[in-house]
Each structure stands twice: as structure tokens, then as C-alpha cells.
Chain A
């Protein structure tokens, strides 16, 4: 029996070091457990195989640092995954050797997301990244050499001590490499983290200056011809790339509200109105796999109302109109009128699939607030 899920996420948590700002599920210093973990991953995948459609569209292997996983185990995993039109693996620059690049390519991976973050040596240190600026460029070249024609770079802005000129330089450096795709995130300093403890005051001092960084990122990248297709994501436009749609299709599935299966510790799945998250604890995960059981999970039932709200929240992150059919019940009509008057939202009446909403460029810069307003 086959299911309908066309998007698969696989979590590889191992890291050489936990960066101060990171809030992903990661595991440091368990070098001997890669084999048992990959075994457990494949077992979970087997258990849930029936949820997957015959044709899987996207696979995303995220971390942690997937490329830190022992080569043999990484290869074993990748070769066991279903084939798909888009198979992405996340990589940290310092781990990308020519051998790793080739391994990925040979194992069916066709897209790599490279965590560059910044090209400034001091700022990499602030982020506690292990890579040096040169590592970023070198990793990129290794990937190109191995034949990758769809590479994404991650950049972080709003780093403590990052001047506007540093940000400009980062973007210029990134553009010089000519990646097909860019993700640009503002640094989130979570309260209570080691990072916030160390840098919180500096961030407060910087906050006025940082206010304009997002605009600057969007401005520079769109000027360079990239499509700002999601709040934090940019890609070369199809018309320039011979019709290739270079958006991150796996992530696009999240933003379009599609179902997805996630395997591995801490991984989240959403299937048919139910969302579950696996235990983030490696020993528990491996142990339940050993017993032939699914890992411990937190389960959340998504009501129709919640699903609609999420549709709006996620859909408004995209540059394409959000069709109102089906979600209008969760929208505050007065707020919509107000936001239209402020030129933050455009309501498109009678589009191809009925009424639809699009955020104006300024509306997208204020997307969080606009969404909070709109949701009744």
C-alpha cells in the first residue's frame, strides 16, 4: 500500500561543535554512533514507508552537519533513500572535501545547501563557526567541480558587531560565487541562550542599525537579478536559467501546506492533519528502533482552524498570491481593509482561482506583523 506523502526530511544531527546561536537538534561528540543512528533512521523510514507516495518529489537531508557523518554511513543512507526530483543535503564548508562532494553526487544528491553564514573571519568567530572565509569559497568550488549545478548559500545577518559594510561585503562575496539560491536569515538571539548571554547587550546597541539590514539584503539581491520568492529565500529566476525553477522545492512544500514525513531525532512530520515530532534524544531513538518500535513522539492534532491559520502564515511568506478560498474564515476583514489602505496588502479580486492576497514589498518586510493583524 502506498500513501500520498511526496516530501521526505531526514535528520542527521552530528556536529563537531555546537554553535552558540544554534537551536536545532544536534549531537556533539558521539563519533561512534553514526552507524547505529543511520541504522535506526533507515528502520524508521521502513516503518513509515507506507505513508510515502510511489513518486517522492523531494528529499532533504538536514542537520546538524550531515556532511560530518562518516562517509560510509552517509553513502549507505543516501543510497537507501527513495529517489526524487530534488535531493538536497546540507553541508558545512569545512567538511566539504572533493571526496565528500563526489560522494554526494554519486549518491543521487542534486542540490547542496552550504552554510556559509558570513565571509568575515571575525564574524565567523562570533558565530562560533569552524570555517574560515576561504573554506566557504573552496567548498563551493569543490561542489561545482563535482558537478553540482544547484547550490544554495546560507547567510546570516545581524551578527553582533556586523557593520552595514560587512553585510554589503558578504552579499558581494556570495554573489561573486554565483549560487543558484540564497537563504538569508536574521540572527535570532533566543533568550536564555549562551549566545544571547554573551552578545545580548551588543545586539540591543545595534538594534537601530539592524532595522535596515533586511531591506538592504532584499534590495541588493533583487538588484542582482534574484527572485525574492520567500521571506528569507532568493533564487535565480527561471527565465534566466532556461526555464529551471530553482526555488527550494522541498521547502516550498512546507510553505504551500503540503504533507511531509520527517525521520530522525527531533524530526517533524505533518500528515493528514496530524503533526508529530520525534524525541530529540539519540539514545531513546536508537533504543526504540532496536525494539522494532517507532521512536517516542509528541503528537499534535491540527484542527481545521489551525490548518487554515498555518496556510495563511506560510502562504504569505511567498511572492505568489495566497488564494483566499478556504481560508477567509480565519481572516479579520477590518484588518484586511486597514492593511490595504496602508498599501501593505493587495487584494486581487477574481484571479484565476478566485480572490487572492499578495503582500506588497513593504508588506513583505513587515510580514510577521501583517500576518498577526490579518489572523482574526
Chain B
């Protein structure tokens, strides 16, 4: 199809504003899927995504509408995947911005709309869920107009659920979103905006062809990484895979690469023909770096190989996940994993537990620190145990956070941000009722339950988004926990000096409550370097005997002792002290449930 009859667009929305429902309805209205075959929310393929109402991996679906080829490119819905969202948007000329008529503009609405505008996309605003009794289409339209400019009256009003107004959205896509303007005669160039892994066919790249065309069996090159492979199959989704001989300029489709390693083909890279390569890649590729790190250990040490296999398999589909083996004295063998952000970490953890049936101990998350030693050496630290002793300065990542709340919660949000070492940047009114607050915060302060606190202090009304902006020096210290004088590596934290005392006290109190009394006094300490900042003693047991033991009791008492011995084997040994796994769990949970 010629480029003037092609339209490439995304649907962007805050979580639960109806993106997936609209996508489903589009497939129905265009007869891409019959109503009977319609599995609710076709585009979300993983159970986990459906449950959380988010989409991790983008797909693109081709539909036909009134003689036009429309490619609907799905975007990931969350803050951790901003880079992926921006790649998806780069593959489009326009975006349908969906806003819930009852909720109005939310933080990700703003973030996504700004991303779309930055990518020079035509933004087509839509107010959804107008059938809901509490819908306020006028108010929401006004907020959108305030956000992206234009007239509130131009905002389309639909109900994706009932299908009302969906054909008007498609008409508007054709009329208002520009056709692609690549050069069909130039050497081929395509943007990889997503990839996926199939166990039989290897890495599948989702691409938007910008210039020229690609043919099946052609030798291809990924320009930034230099990866070479053959295009085993080209095609598009409609909504199932349809093979095709060529992908032409302006079109969106997939390339089956046969590559066995997802990390060899990165989102944002440019594909070209190895025979007649383009002069240069498309703009915008960047290597995404993990920002949040945490140790993952199997609760049952025998499950270590299972964890390793599971991570390998997840990694196939998730190039952003990194991991390396880590050995903890207290928790045994595990992996230190790097994630794009908190949600990414949660998703990985849940998939490991749910899809791979693993029981995990997860250490407190930390961010990437840049450390300069007294000797002038610079290093990046991902694990508190790697923190050098002689430190000149430590820098930590900062974010620019935007929080959108009804105005009565502004005070609560400011209070929370201040507690978390945030500095206020500015505040804007989105409408009479709603405010966007911009704060700069250390990422480290956000990775531990910031989002839950934000939600609970605003009765669930706040929405939140962030971007990492830079690294800044901070008064950061390493807080160690010692049991009977032995540091417990898995419990070390890097923390701001001002919070160290409170956290150390909480850790020590919790451990004292959780570690059973031993045959000797056990001091439990929290320390910064050699300075102990909190201390408790678990007093020694005073008695531990089997009350009586005569001829009739011997077998039973012996079995009791054997069980006692077996129980000890399940304990984690810290020096001479036996610490039940539950104690570690309780302390690690402390990071989640009390600040």
C-alpha cells in the first residue's frame, strides 16, 4: 500500500483509563477480529499484565479502515518503561490520548502526552467512559485542552466499553494523523521499537520501516550494535501473525531474526540491509541502564539452579533485566539483579514466584551509586557490600517527579516529599481542582514504598511519574547490622545519614524479636563503620531440657532431639548464631512496611 494510505498510531493513557478496551473495540469495529473470537483485551498476552492492568511488551496490530492501513502500536503503560514508550511513539505519526471521563488527567497522561509532543506526534484527544454515571466529560476535556492546547470542544467523546464513538476515532486517525513521509527509494531503514523472544524462532523484532523496503531472506544489520542476521520471515499482526514477502516504507511489522539472544537486538536500534546499508542510523538510540538493584535468593538453597534457569528465561524476553551471581554469607547463593525501576523489579519478582514457582528472599532495593574513593578512583556501586571504606564522596541518582493530586492533598504530598529529601520545584493547576507538583528527589527515597505511601496519604487519588535527571552528591553512609559481632552482609544498606539512626534502631529491634534465644548472649548492633548506633542483646536461654526421660520415653525423646537437630539445619548460620529464615524475612519486610 502506498504511504499516503498508511497511518501509524499509538494509544496512550494512564493505567486503567481504557487503552486496552479501546484497542479491542478497534479490532472489532474494523472486523479484524469477530466479536465471537474476541478474547477480551487481545493485546495483553500475559496474565500478569492483565491483572495489573498494564502492558509490558508492545505489539503492533494492522487493521483496515475505509481503504487505509492503520497500524496500532501498543505502548507499555508505566513509568519504568519510558524509554520503550518513547521508542514506540517514534514509530508513529500520531497518538490517541485516552483520558477517563471520571478520573481526568493523571500523571502518566501528562508524561505520555509530553512524550508524544516531544516526538512531534499529532495528538488526538479522547475522553473515554462517558457512559459512567460519575463521568465529567466537560471537566476532563477542559483539562486535556489545558494540557495539550487546542479546544475542549475538539476532544472526542467515546465509550470504548459500549463502542460508542469508536468509528469516529478511526475516522479522525485517517483525517488528522499525517501519513508517513519516508523515502521509498532510499536504502532501507527500520526502527526496532520492541522485541520479543520465541523459543522456536528466536528473537522477533517489531519494526517501523522508515525508508526503502525489506525482503524476506535478506541479510540485515542492526546498526548500533553491529549485529548481523538473516530475515527469516517478515510479516505483520492482524491480530495473528501474517507472513509477507516485503515490508515497505511506512509500514509496521515484525522480523523473525533467528537470533538466540535478545540482548543482541536492542530496542531503539536501526535495521538496514547488509548489502546496501543506509548511511546512518535513525536518531535516538540509547542504552538503557538499570537504576534499581536488589539481591534475589531462593529461600531453599537447593532451588538456586532453578532460579538461575528462570532468570535466563526471563532475560530472553527482557533485555533490560541484568543479573549476576551473588554469594551472601547469610542467605547463601543468589543473584544481584538490576532493574529499570521499582515496577520492573516487582514484575520480575512476581513472575519468578508465579510462573517459576520460586520462593524468594529479596534484599532491600538500592540504587546505583557513583563513588569516588580518597585515592581518586571512580566506581559505580550496585550493592552495599561493594561499598569501599575510604570514600571521598558518593553520588546518587535524582529524579524529577511529577505528582498529580486533587488540591486538598497538596499538603500531604509535600510533607511526604520533604520527608524523602525532596526539593520543591514548582506547582501548576491543571484545573480548579487538580494540581501537578514537581519535585526533585533522590531515587533511593522513592524505591522503598514511596508509591504506597503516596497512595495511602492521598486516599488513592495521587498519580505519579518520574524521570531520572542526574547524579548528585549526598551524605550517604553504609549501615551494617552485626549479630554477635558478625556483619550480616545481606542486611547492609546505603542510607542517608539522617535516616541511619532510625533505621538502625528498627532493624535491631526487629531482629531481637525474631532471633530465638541461644545458649549465650547475642548482641545485635547497627553500625556505621566502627560506630555502633543501636544495640540490643538477646539474652541467653536459662533452661532447655526434656523434663523427664524413663524407659517408656526414650524413643520419643530421641526423635524429639533429631527433629530439633533437623530444625537447626534449616537455620542460616551467622557466626555461631542460628538465625531462622523468618528473621531475615521479617527484617527485609521491614523495608516495605515501616519507614
- Which A residues are closer than 8 A to B by beta carbons? 9, 183, 185-188, 211-215, 231-232, 251, 254-255, 260, 262, 266-268, 270, 275, 277, 300, 306, 309-310, 313-314, 317, 338-339, 342, 344, 364-373, 375
Known: A232-B547, A270-B551, A310-B554. A371 touches B519 (CB 8 A): no
Do A368 and B561 touch (CB < 8 A)? yes
Nearest CB of chain B from residue A344's CB, rounded to whole Å: 6
User: How long is the Cα–Cα vector from A193 to B545 in the complex, in angstroms?
Assistant: 21
Known: A313-B561, A369-B541. A268 touches B547 (CB 8 A): no
Which of B541, B550, B561 lies in contact with A366, CB distance below 8 A? B541
Check if B548 is an interface residue, CB within 8 A of chain A: yes
Nearest CB of chain A from residue B485's CB, rounded to whole Å: 14
- Chain B residues with CB below 8 A from A370, complex form: 519, 544
Do A215 and B558 touch (CB < 8 A)? no
User: How long is the Cα–Cα vector from A364 to B519 in the complex, in angstroms?
Assistant: 12
- Chain A residues with CB below 8 A from B545, complex form: 186, 214, 231-232, 364-368
Interface centre among B549, B564, B565 (most CB of A within 10 A): B549
- Chain B residues with CB below 8 A from A267, complex form: 552
User: How long is the Cα–Cα vector from A213 to B545 in the complex, in angstroms?
Assistant: 12
Known: A267-B552, A369-B519. A309 touches B558 (CB 8 A): yes
Do B552 and A313 touch (CB < 8 A)? no
Do A254 and B550 touch (CB < 8 A)? yes
User: How long is the Cα–Cα vector from A268 to B549 in the complex, in angstroms?
Assistant: 13
Chain A residue nearest to B539 in the complex (CB) = A211
Nearest CB of chain B from residue A51's CB, rounded to whole Å: 14
Other 5 A-B pairs with CB < 8 A, given A365-B543, A375-B561:
A215-B543, A260-B551, A310-B554, A366-B543, A369-B541
Chain B 533-566 interface mask (CB, 8 Å, partner A; 1/0): 0000000011111111111101101100110110
Do A372 and B568 touch (CB < 8 A)? yes
Do B548 and A232 touch (CB < 8 A)? yes
Chain B residue nearest to A253 in the complex (CB) = B551
Check if B241 is an interface residue, CB within 8 A of chain A: no
Do A254 and B551 touch (CB < 8 A)? yes
Q: Is the interface of B mostly helix, strand, loop or mixed?
A: loop
Q: List 11 A-B contacts (CB under 8 A).
A: A214-B545, A231-B549, A268-B552, A268-B555, A277-B552, A309-B561, A366-B544, A368-B544, A372-B561, A372-B568, A375-B565
User: How long is the Cα–Cα vector from A339 to B558 in the complex, in angstroms?
Assistant: 20
Chain B residue nearest to A186 in the complex (CB) = B547
Do A369 and B548 touch (CB < 8 A)? no
User: How long is the Cα–Cα vector from A262 to B551 in the complex, in angstroms?
Assistant: 9
Known: A338-B576, A375-B561. A270 touches B554 (CB 8 A): yes
Do B543 and A342 touch (CB < 8 A)? no
Nearest CB of chain B from residue A52's CB, rounded to whole Å: 15
Do A266 and B552 touch (CB < 8 A)? yes
- Chain B residues with CB below 8 A from A255, complex form: 549
- Chain B residues with CB below 8 A from A232, complex form: 545, 547-548
Check if B356 is an interface residue, CB within 8 A of chain A: no
User: How long is the Cα–Cα vector from A267 to B554 in the complex, in angstroms?
Assistant: 12
- Chain B residues with CB below 8 A from A368, complex form: 544-546, 561, 564
User: How long is the Cα–Cα vector from A306 to B559 in the complex, in angstroms?
Assistant: 10
User: How long is the Cα–Cα vector from A251 to B545 in the complex, in angstroms?
Assistant: 17
User: How long is the Cα–Cα vector from A266 to B555 in the complex, in angstroms?
Assistant: 13
Interface centre among A317, A368, A371 (most CB of B within 10 A): A368
Chain A residue nearest to B552 in the complex (CB) = A268
Nearest CB of chain A from residue B244's CB, rounded to whole Å: 69
Interface centre among B555, B562, B568 (most CB of A within 10 A): B555
- Chain A residues with CB below 8 A from B552, complex form: 262, 266-268, 277
- Chain A residues with CB below 8 A from B519, complex form: 339, 342, 344, 366, 369-370, 373
Do A268 and B544 touch (CB < 8 A)? no
Chain B residue nearest to A300 in the complex (CB) = B555
User: How long is the Cα–Cα vector from A265 to B552 in the complex, in angstroms?
Assistant: 11
- Chain A residues with CB below 8 A from B544, complex form: 365-370
- Chain B residues with CB below 8 A from A213, complex form: 543
Chain A residue nearest to B544 in the complex (CB) = A369
- Chain A residues with CB below 8 A from B548, complex form: 183, 185, 232
The 10 closest A-B pairs by CB, nearest first: A369-B544, A214-B543, A372-B564, A268-B552, A366-B544, A368-B544, A186-B547, A185-B547, A368-B545, A367-B545
Known: A300-B555, A372-B565. A251 touches B550 (CB 8 A): yes
Chain A residue nearest to B578 in the complex (CB) = A373
- Chain A residues with CB below 8 A from B547, complex form: 185-188, 232
Chain A residue nearest to B557 in the complex (CB) = A313
Do B551 and A371 touch (CB < 8 A)? no
User: How long is the Cα–Cα vector from A270 to B555 in the complex, in angstroms?
Assistant: 11
- Chain A residues with CB below 8 A from B561, complex form: 309, 313, 368, 371-372, 375
Chain B residue nearest to A344 in the complex (CB) = B519
Nearest CB of chain A from residue B404's CB, rounded to whole Å: 50
- Chain B residues with CB below 8 A from A367, complex form: 544-546
Nearest CB of chain B from residue A104's CB, rounded to whole Å: 21
Interface centre among A187, A212, A369 (most CB of B within 10 A): A369
Nearest CB of chain A from residue B4's CB, rounded to whole Å: 80
User: How long is the Cα–Cα vector from A231 to B550 in the complex, in angstroms?
Assistant: 12
User: How long is the Cα–Cα vector from A314 to B558 in the complex, in angstroms?
Assistant: 9
- Chain B residues with CB below 8 A from A185, complex form: 547-548
Chain B residue nearest to A370 in the complex (CB) = B519
- Chain B residues with CB below 8 A from A371, complex form: 561
Interface centre among A187, A215, A262, A373 (most CB of B within 10 A): A373
